[in-house]
Structure 1
Amino acid sequence: MRCRYGGNQSNQYGQTVNDIVAGWQGARLLKRAPLCGRFCRLEPLDVTRHAADLFAAYALGDEGGWTWLASSCPANVAATAHWAAGKVND
């Protein structure tokens, strides 16, 4: 149940929803730059550089890792590149 003009309400599970958060602002977009941590490095997805390796990694197991994703496991490198391009451009 949504409350259009604020105020607390309960959903069908008895959970309080729609709390007002004073001064809340959305986060700014991250820059497309590598994030380097103590144990790993996270870099922006690059379709040209990453599609083949992503497909190779996905091909090692079953499709169970895709259960909760809004798409199915790509069948080949080209399909992986298409999937990745959609994520980059989203």
Structure 2
Amino acid sequence: MACWLAWRILRSPGPLWLRLLNAAVAFIPFIGPLFAFWASDFPAPHHPAYRDNSRYSPDVYLRWIDVLRMRNESARQQRWKELMKKNHEEEP
């Protein structure tokens, strides 16, 4: 199981040093494979519209608060589409 997990970790994307370290941890008896599997299972990055772009303020909350407070479902959906389109165009 440790060999399969190390092979899986080494083929995954990410920094080489981190992959090598996680693969080495997989060979520790008993707890190693569990910890290596947990440490190597990274989530996919969020869409830029959901990311916090400012370090010192909650700009994600401020960007979405008017959408979250809307009661009309069709207007909320339209505003959501506008924000997603705007943030999709701003991607580098």
| TM-score, length of structure 2 as denominator length | 0.23
Select the structure that is richer in helix: 2
TM-score for the superposition, normalised by structure 1 = 0.23
Q: Which has the higher strand share?
A: 1
